[in-house]
Amino acid sequence: MDRFLIRGGRPLHGEIPIGGAKNSALKLLVAGLLTSERLVLGNVPRIADIATMSDLLRQHGVEVEDLDGTGGTLSVGGAITNTEAPYDIVSKMRASILVLGPLLARAREARVSLPGGCAIGTRPVDMHLKGLESLGAEIRLEGGYIDARAPNGLLGSRVVLPFASVGATENLLMAATLAEGRTEIVNAAREPEIADLIGCLSAMGARISGEGTGTLTIDGVSALHGARYDVMPDRIECGTYACAVGIAGGDVRLLGGDGAHLGAVIRALEEAGVEVSQEPGALRVRRQGRLQGVDVMTEPYPGFPTDMQAQFMALLSVAEGASMVTETIFENRFMHVPELSRMGARINVHGSSAIIRGVSGLSGAPVMATDLRASFSLILAGLAAEGETVLSRVYHLDRGYEAVERKLSGCGARIERVND
């Protein structure tokens, strides 16, 4: 099993390329279920979750091909020969639930394993199921599986989401593209990844309006066709490396970074004393002075993203003064706090809020990753710590970040991957 060895104390200088967005690429791959023609995706991140989703699509009979030999350009499409998404694949990645809508829309039936629990919260799928029922689907829960049928096809309807759920919005959006008539999704999520999915679906022939608003209108079509589409840059990866510069100090250009997708994160970084500026083709991040404590609260987009909470908490652990981080999206997303505390951070959790009292320095220690974003928060702490940090369970990190050690070491960090 791999581990990371990190020796802190070095500022970062240079350039870091930002890859394609994990949270977008996974959904764009699933969109390939909506057509028998080929959907070619560029700028695909080379991460474990993409391999898992590719395996799931192949399970359904769809072909997934690596067109450039690197995994950066994938082709997906073909006949659906199996409509079951089994537990052994779905349990690896909750995004697998998103095959439900496209399978129903195109094959008119689906049997998808319930995803079960998750380290950072239960994340129920009730909104997905109720929304699909509004489109005419017949749904039963049996033996840990969702059995769904729409023998006469899906019918357009008005769906009001009680919460701006990203996953439910995406599932309903894809299903509605092949539904008969008009569908309206009210209180839809507005994340940039939703806009990327809309862009891809539109390139495939879908008729969707309302991008960037809380109401999406979809006029169903009889069939979608193939297309060529590039995945958007990963705003969470960009924000994560911005935090790396913030906690370690230095001056780094994040190639492909787009500040337009990171408004709340950039405002919090600037308030903490980190300089962020948009340049042609890159986001430049600098920090020379001392960090200052700030308060942040996670919210649906355009608020502060929950996927940046752990990384920002690591940065605040060495900021002057006190800070408060409040988590409103997931009920159990402070699992990184005990590990940061092992390195000398002073953090007290009270319900959904964490109080951070900044310390002058952290100390390297053996620590363990608990989930994807928490794993990178410990790398950030290691970059600022005195001595050596040993991070175990880095398979969590590999799910969503590509070539971390190469990108950071290229800017002067002392980080290496070792295998036991």
Binding annotation for UDP-N-acetyl-alpha-D-glucosamine: 94, 307, 329
Residue of 118, 238, 243, 411 with catalytic role = 118
Residue 14: count other Cβ atoms within 10 Å of its Cβ. Answer: 15
Half-sphere exposure of residue 404: CA atoms within 13 angstroms, side-chain side: 30
> Has 411 been annotated as catalytic?
no
State how far the alpha carbon of 155 is from the alpha carbons of 1, 106, 133, 205, 394, in Å: 49, 13, 10, 18, 44
**CA–centroid distance for 105 within its chain:** 25
Secondary structure in 3-state letters for the chain: CEEEEEECCCCEEEEEECCECHHHHHHHHHHHHHCCCCEEEECCCCCHHHHHHHHHHHHCCCEEEECCCCCCCEEEECCCCCCEECHHHHCCCHHHHHHHHHHHHHHCEEEEECCCCCCCCCCCCHHHHHHHHHCCCEEEEECCEEEEECCCCCECCEEECCCCCHHHHHHHHHHHCCCECEEEEECCCCCHHHHHHHHHHHHCCCEEECCCCCEEEEECCCCCCCEEEECCECHHHHHHHHHHHHHHCEEEEEECCCHHHCHHHHHHHHHHCCEEEEECCEEEEEECCCCECCEEEECCCCCECHHHHHHHHHHHCCCECEEEEECCCCCCCCCCHHHHHHCCCEEEEECCEEEEECCCCCECCEEECCCHHHHHHHHHHHHHCECEEEEECCHHHHCCCCCHHHHHHCCCCEEEEEEC
Q: Looking at the DSSP assignment, which residues form a beta bridge with residue 250?
A: 12, 287
What residue numbers does the annotated binding site cover?
22-23, 94, 307, 329
What residue numbers does the annotated binding site for phosphoenolpyruvate cover?
22-23
Residue 76: count other Cβ atoms within 10 Å of its Cβ. Answer: 24
Instruction: Give the strand pairing for 322-326 and 282-287.
Output: unpaired
- The catalytic site residues sit at 118
